[in-house]
């Protein structure tokens, strides 16, 4: 646990205020999200409460097994679900929003759970610093709404191995249709949440081209009980599709991993694509169907067929759910945004993440659709909770009003004693959903959770092993001719068709031209 | 906390929206009253005796008090209305959100919206109004008639998840071009107008959606510069 002292509180409150401002900006640039299928707003409120009560305990166990900064290192090398929208923004934001709800109800004071708040934000800050190590910022917002966490050695492999496309050719059509199907399916599998999709970049690919990296997570049997028996024709649980655009400037990649471009996103501007997978057990990105343009098109077409059927199968399953089952599923999806930390650390237990805490269940009768919609709007848009107001002299960032979404820890905790520092570590809960019975789909095959945890505990990616972990691009800049640098780059080049064993000395002009 | 329990924050007042104001005040009042009755220090109550402050029965009572006063909730998900019809307002036929459009070349303008993807020509077809799981299941089973333009009052992407690709166009009565349905329309390249205001339309009415219009600018939802794509009803 982090120590509570003046310095740690100053850092905690600074991090919290930045998150508060960014989250307000993200919320006001969207409309209220509603769905005719899922009671979204009620489940979102319950998910925040679930996160408040359970996350600190779960994170402490994870942090003890694998420190947050090491988890950030992992997320910086490949696409993992502990990403921008889930782990970097969602995890701390959901925790703190749950705290706001309880404070507004008078069931919590701002000093209560101070130890939990400090611990969650300390974990989050260390993760984010390591995740964003290559660009040196802590959030996409701080970096000017950019997301560039991948190193040159990985991007060079992408640039060399991606297959060129033109509108109307087989691969162009295949990737366009697959990305659409993946997006559709990811929204459904995540109960209308966007957190199954992730975008990062842009990266400058020269010649008026930019790369964005599009990820899709939890596609088949794994953590979500409702995916048992769904999309089992997919051999992988996650897919990463790097896409190169010409004459398109992605001017915004925000902390919800959403992008905006000028001119707007248009598939006709796609000039090169690839497909990879990665998870807690892969040593770098693993190419999927990348051996030839035809093989990639064929693989994408096949996956699209599997996911098209899976969408219909899953939709029928969900359409038969009760309101409470829909609410439990959605709440669990949101409150488990940090679950893949446990997969990386090898501490994953299904009941840690896939129940609603007993302390949360008591609030369910309040959660009709109107209250859900309006309480959420009041809390994150209007900032109308009485305690969200600040002194009349205050002009907050973005709104210039005297109100803030998230409440800091009062420094009086250093001298006053009448507060309870933690919500406690005894977790119990339940769910109205059918229990999970299937296996977990991983890069090591379909395995049970004990095997998954065992493998995860024993695994360290080669680029993070002793000799390489601290070799960043400031080091590469002056040591690219050294054998150590070559060894580091060769690790990323192992699965490459065109860069295998080429080492660290290459610049863009040296990369092979491969039909792009 | 003990000193201030029950006292409103210095600069705050009460929630702006009616149901949060009602429910949240009820919880606050109850928690303050229950805490005062304990006679204990706040730190010994806040978590250790949290069910004394607020319980499942209390939440039920807060909801019941509103219902007893005749309050009925707006629904958003159809499952809410179907599972607890006595708690929710029954859906009313939506009043026209757009009236008295101009007539031009045998067409009458019946609405406006925000174009998601700019196309080279407008799209024309019969409309189908979709808002229930049963309708989607029916299309999933029987297929979608060619050329159908869906009118969807849901900016989410999941209600129509298995069938969205089959529509010739979409008129969405809510959301923005950044909503989930807008994102999916772009990915599927389905001509779509979001955030539409329309006159009353019936199943089978033939409409033309002006997907040649420029999409809204990046700051359109902050400046209010929206609604540039027109929707025409083909008369006769």
Give the β-pairing of B107-115 and A239-246. unpaired
Mean pLDDT by runs of 10 across the 516 residues of chain A is: 94 98 88 85 98 98 98 97 96 98 97 98 98 95 96 98 97 97 96 95 97 98 98 97 98 92 90 98 98 98 97 96 98 98 98 98 98 96 95 93 96 97 97 96 98 98 94 97 98 96 97 74
pLDDT of res. A46: 98
The C-alpha of B102 sits at a distance from chain A's nearest C-alpha, in angstroms, of 29
Task: List the beta strands (DSSP E) in A232-323.
Answer: 239-246, 249-253, 259-262, 270-273, 276-277, 286-287
Architecture of domain B103-234: 3-Layer(bba) Sandwich (3.50)
B124 in helix, strand or coil? strand
pLDDT for residue B3 is more than 60: no
pLDDT of res. B101: 81
Q: Which of B9, B44, B87 sits opposite A386 (nearest CB)?
A: B9
Confidence of residue B97 (pLDDT cuts 50, 70, 90): confident
**pTM score, two decimals?**
0.95
Report the run of H or E that residue A473 belongs to, with start and end.
helix A473-479
Q: Residue A163 burial by CB count (10 A; 0-12/13-18/19+): exposed, middle or buried?
A: buried
Distant-in-sequence, close-in-space partners of A363: CB < 8 Å, separation ≥ 6: A45, A46, A49, B59
The C-alpha of A34 sits at a distance from chain B's nearest C-alpha, in angstroms, of 6
Instruction: Note whether A395 contacts B: Cβ–Cβ < 8 A.
Output: no
Listed by start position, the domains of chain B span 18-71, 103-234
In B, minimum Cα distance to A391 occurs at B11
In A, minimum Cα distance to B72 occurs at A370
pLDDT of res. B221: 76
What is the residue-averaged pLDDT of chain B?
91
Instruction: Note whether A460 contacts B: Cβ–Cβ < 8 A.
Output: no
Contact criterion met (CB below 8 Å) for B62 and B23? yes
Average pLDDT (B174-191) is 88
In B, minimum Cα distance to A31 occurs at B175
- Domain assignment of residue A487, yes or no: no
Instruction: Note whether A313 contacts B: Cβ–Cβ < 8 A.
Output: no
Instruction: Note whether A43 contacts B: Cβ–Cβ < 8 A.
Output: no
- Domain assignment of residue A347, yes or no: yes
- Residue-range definition of the domain harbouring residue A403: 1-459
- β-bridge partners, B104: B107
- CA-closest candidate to residue A174, choices A236, A230, A241, A238: A241
Question: What is the rounded end-to-end Cα distance, in angstroms, of chain B?
Answer: 70
Q: Which of B76, B117, B153 sits opposite A369 (nearest CB)?
A: B76
- CA-closest candidate to residue B175, choices B92, B100, B95, B116: B116
pLDDT of res. B93: 61
Instruction: Note whether A371 contacts B: Cβ–Cβ < 8 A.
Output: yes
pLDDT of res. A407: 97
Q: Which of B6, B79, B164 sits opposite A326 (nearest CB)?
A: B79
Judging contacts by C-beta atoms under 8 Å, the chain A residues touching residue B143 are none
pLDDT of res. B7: 72
How many Cα atoms within 13 Å fall on the side-chain side of residue B117?
21
Judging contacts by C-beta atoms under 8 Å, the chain B residues touching residue A188 are 157-158, 161
The C-alpha of A420 sits at a distance from chain B's nearest C-alpha, in angstroms, of 5
Please state, for a pLDDT cut of 70, what percent of chain B lies above it: 96
- CA-closest candidate to residue B184, choices A333, A11, A188: A188
The C-alpha of A40 sits at a distance from chain B's nearest C-alpha, in angstroms, of 8
Structure-token pair, residue A403: 């109100």
Place of tokens 């077809």: B125
| ipTM > 0.85 for the complex | yes
Instruction: Note whether A320 contacts B: Cβ–Cβ < 8 A.
Output: no
pLDDT of res. B6: 58
- Domain assignment of residue A274, yes or no: yes
Distance CA A126, CA B55 (A): 37
Return the minimum-mean-pLDDT range out of A328-337, B12-21, B58-67, B91-100: B91-100
> CB B43 to CB A30 under 8 A?
no
pLDDT for residue B236 is more than 90: no
Structural domain total, chain A: 1
> CB B187 to CB A311 under 8 A?
no
Distance CA A32, CA A381 (A): 9
Q: Which of B27, B158, B215 sits opposite A38 (nearest CB)?
A: B158
Judging contacts by C-beta atoms under 8 Å, the chain A residues touching residue B27 are 105-107, 366
pLDDT for residue B99 is more than 90: no
> CB A315 to CB B140 under 8 A?
yes
């Amino acid at each position: 646990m982090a120590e509570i002292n003046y310095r740690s509180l100053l850092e905690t409150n600074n991090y919290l205020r930045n998150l508060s401002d960014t989250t307000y900006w993200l919320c006001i640039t969207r409309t209220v999200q509603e769905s005719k299928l899922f009671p979204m707003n009620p489940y979102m409120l319950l998910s925040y409460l679930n996160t408040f009560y359970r996350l600190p305990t779960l994170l402490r166990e994870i942090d003890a097994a694998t420190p947050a900064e090491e988890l950030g290192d992992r997320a910086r090398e490949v696409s993992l679900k502990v990403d921008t929208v889930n782990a970097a923004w969602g995890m701390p934001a959901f925790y703190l929003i749950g705290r706001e709800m309880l404070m507004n109800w008078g069931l919590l004071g701002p000093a209560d759970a101070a130890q939990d708040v400090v611990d969650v934000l300390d974990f989050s800050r260390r993760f984010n610093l390591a995740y964003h190590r290559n660009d040196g910022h802590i959030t996409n917002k701080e970096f000017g709404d950019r997301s560039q966490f991948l190193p040159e050695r990985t991007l060079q492999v992408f640039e060399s191995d991606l297959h060129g496309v033109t509108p109307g050719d087989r691969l162009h059509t295949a990737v366009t249709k697959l990305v659409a199907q993946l997006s559709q399916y990811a929204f459904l599998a995540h109960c209308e949440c966007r957190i199954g999709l992730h975008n990062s970049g842009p990266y400058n690919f020269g010649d008026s081209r930019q790369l964005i990296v599009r990820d899709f997570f939890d596609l088949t049997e794994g953590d979500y009980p409702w995916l048992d028996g769904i999309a089992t024709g997919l051999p992988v649980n996650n897919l990463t599709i790097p896409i190169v655009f010409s004459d398109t400037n992605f001017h915004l990649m925000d902390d919800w991993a959403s992008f905006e471009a000028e001119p707007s996103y248009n598939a006709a501007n796609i000039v090169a694509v690839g497909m990879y997978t990665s998870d807690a057990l892969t040593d770098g990105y693993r190419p999927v169907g990348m051996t030839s343009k035809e093989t990639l098109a064929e693989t994408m077409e096949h996956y699209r067929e599997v996911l098209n059927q899976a969408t219909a199968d899953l939709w029928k399953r969900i359409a038969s759910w009760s309101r409470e089952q829909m609410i439990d599923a959605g709440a669990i999806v949101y409150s488990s945004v940090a679950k893949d930390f446990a997969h990386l650390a090898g501490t994953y237990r299904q009941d840690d993440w896939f129940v609603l805490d007993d302390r949360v269940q008591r609030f369910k009768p309040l959660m009709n659709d109107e209250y859900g919609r309006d309480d959420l709007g009041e809390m994150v848009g209007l900032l109308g909770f009485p305690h969200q107001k600040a002194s009349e002299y205050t002009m907050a960032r973005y709104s210039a009003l005297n109100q803030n979404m998230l409440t800091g820890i009062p420094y009086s905790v250093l001298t006053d004693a009448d507060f309870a520092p933690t919500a406690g570590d005894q977790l119990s809960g339940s769910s109205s959903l059918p229990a999970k019975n299937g296996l977990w789909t991983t890069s090591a095959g379909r395995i049970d959770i004990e095997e998954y945890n065992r493998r995860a505990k024993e695994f360290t990616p080669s680029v993070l092993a002793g000799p390489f972990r601290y070799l960043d691009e400031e080091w590469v800049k002056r040591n690219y001719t050294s054998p150590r640098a070559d060894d580091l780059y060769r690790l990323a080049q192992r699965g490459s068709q065109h860069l295998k064993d080429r080492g660290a000395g290459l610049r863009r002009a040296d990369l092979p031209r491969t039909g792009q | 906390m003990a000193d201030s329990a029950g006292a409103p924050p210095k600069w705050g007042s009460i929630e702006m929206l009616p149901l949060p104001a009602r429910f949240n005040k009820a919880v606050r009042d109850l928690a303050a009253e229950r805490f005062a009755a304990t006679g204990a220090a706040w730190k010994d109550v806040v978590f250790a005796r949290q069910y004394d402050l607020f319980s499942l029965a209390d939440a039920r009572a807060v909801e019941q008090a509103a219902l007893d006063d005749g309050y009925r909730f707006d629904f958003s998900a159809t499952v809410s209305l179907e599972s607890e019809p006595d708690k929710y307002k029954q859906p009313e036929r939506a009043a026209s959100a757009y009236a008295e459009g101009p007539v031009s070349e045998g067409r009458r303008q019946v609405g406006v919206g925000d174009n998601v993807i700019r196309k080279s020509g407008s799209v024309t077809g019969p409309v189908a109004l979709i808002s229930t799981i049963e309708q989607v299941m029916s299309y999933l089973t029987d297929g979608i008639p060619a050329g159908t333009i869906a009118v969807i009052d849901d900016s989410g992407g999941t209600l129509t998840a298995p069938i969205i690709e089959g529509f010739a166009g979409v008129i969405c009565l809510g959301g923005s071009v950044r909503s989930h349905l807008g994102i999916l329309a772009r990915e599927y390249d389905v001509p779509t107008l979001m955030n539409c205001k329309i006159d009353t339309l019936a199943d089978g009415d033939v409409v033309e959606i002006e997907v040649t219009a420029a999409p809204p600018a990046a700051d359109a939802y902050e400046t209010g510069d929206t609604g540039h794509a027109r929707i025409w009803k083909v008369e006769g």
